[in-house]
Amino acid sequence: MAKRKWTTLTEAELRLMNVLWNKGEATVGEITRALPSKLNLAYNTVLTTMRILERKGYVRHSNSEQGRAFIYRPRVGRAHATRNAVRELLRRFFERSHESLVLNILQDEELDERQRQRIRDLLDRFDREPQ
Amino acid sequence: MAKRKWTTLTEAELRLMNVLWNKGEATVGEITRALPSKLNLAYNTVLTTMRILERKGYVRHSNSEQGRAFIYRPRVGRAHATRNAVRELLRRFFERSHESLVLNILQDEELDERQRQRIRDLLDRFDREPQ
DNA sequence: CTCCAACAACTAAACGATTAATATATGCCC
DNA sequence: GGGCATATATTAATCGTTTAGTTGTTGGAG
């Protein structure tokens, strides 16, 4: 009942998705080896998380010919996942107001004058090339 | 080891913090009654979550005089919590680039021309009144 | 002073995320 | 085809979140 359809990616899940988005497709072994070695995750750890991602609809696997291992592919693009995350943030903290979020970003004291200028340029460019 | 200092607010925690931010201070009972009645959370549920929030450093309680119940107060402001959430999103999905996030917001197809204009106005206003 | 209602402390169950050990299957080299 | 390396399946331990029951404490009404 009232189960979220999207289910935002967790930290560990996002790590695996990044590998998959970069590679386009990969086996569990390939993903495991592609992860930062400082994490040192076991093959089975990655496998379990891949199954969770599959249950959540983020990836699918094909019982590949010419090899024993399953091949996993993203079912949701990075842009789509990103947009979901932004929408989630908007819902939680900004009452869905994009403007409030932009204002917050501009007010962040870690944002210096040069970065603000770049954002302004970005807006101008977007004006000139409407989507 | 390597314990997060900030620890982003969860959904249930944020609900309680919103009440506290609005009221300035409150007892557990007051918070419980202030929550949307459709949630119908038990007093003990709220109490437990308040203790977690205290452990995380988001609230503190004072052993109040003139009353039996503890009085809880925010130790972290809404703006601060919001900024942490935005930074977390930036780290996860935008490699800490504010510009990328702004671009993403502008490209969101749910954002119409009027809303874009409002964001532009916001930027202009921010230019005229530098922080 | 007694007792009830409100409160706090403790405990824990249900659940998901994260991690991994163990067990089983299978392709391939020789 | 026997056995090693690699894969997948099963299982579960650990932890945090969310929810709430039970028990003990206390302040105030009468």
Residue B131: the pLDDT is: 58
Q: How many CB pairs under 8 A join A and B?
A: 86
Mean pLDDT of A40-47: 94
Give the pLDDT band (50/70/90) at residue A126.
Answer: confident
Percentage helix, strand, coil for chain B under 3-state DSSP, each rounded to 5: 55, 5, 35
The single residue listed with the structure tokens 């903290």 is: A93
E-strand ranges in B39-126 read 59-62, 71-74
For the stretch B11-34, pLDDT in tens is 999 999 999 999 999 999 999 999
Tell whether B101 is within 8 A of chain A (Cβ). Answer: yes
Tell me the CA–C1' distance in angstroms for A51 and C28: 27
- Residue A93 is nearest to which of B85, B94, B106, comparing CB atoms? B85
Distance CA B60, CA B72 (A): 6
Residue-wise pLDDT tens digits, B36-93: 988 889 999 999 999 999 999 999 999 876 677 899 999 999 999 999 999 999 999 9
B-chain residues near A98 (CB < 8 A)? 105, 108, 111, 115, 119
Closest residue in B to A10 (Cα) is B92
Using the Cα atoms of residue A75, residue A79, residue A85 and residue A88 in order, give the sign of their dihedral. Answer: negative
Strands (E), chain A: 59-62, 71-74
Domains of chain B: 11-74 (1.10.10.10), 98-131 (no CATH)
Confidence of residue B118 (pLDDT cuts 50, 70, 90): confident
Residue B107 has a pLDDT of 81
Cβ contact, residue pair B104, A120, below 8 Å: no
Q: Give the pLDDT confidence score for residue A33 in this predicted structure.
A: 94
Runs of H (alpha helix) within A35-77: 43-55
Mean confidence (pLDDT) of chain A:
87
Confidence (pLDDT) at B37: 87
Provide, in whole angstroms, the distance separating residue B44's CA from nucleotide D3's C1'.
60
Q: Is the ipTM of this complex over 0.90?
A: no
With CB atoms and an 8 Å threshold, state whether A115 touches B99. yes
Q: pLDDT band for A50, please (50, 70, 90 cuts).
A: very high
What's the rounded Cα separation, in Å, for the pair B105 and B116?
10
Q: What is the pLDDT of residue B57?
A: 94
Tens-digit pLDDT profile for residues A71-116: 999 999 999 999 999 999 999 999 888 888 988 888 877 777 788 7
Check if A107 contacts B (Cβ < 8 Å).
Answer: yes
pLDDT-based confidence at A46, cuts 50/70/90?
Answer: very high
Q: Which residues contact A43 (CB under 8 A, 6 or more apart)?
A: A28, A29, A32
Q: Please report residues of B whose CB lies closer than 8 A to that of A104.
A: 82-83, 86
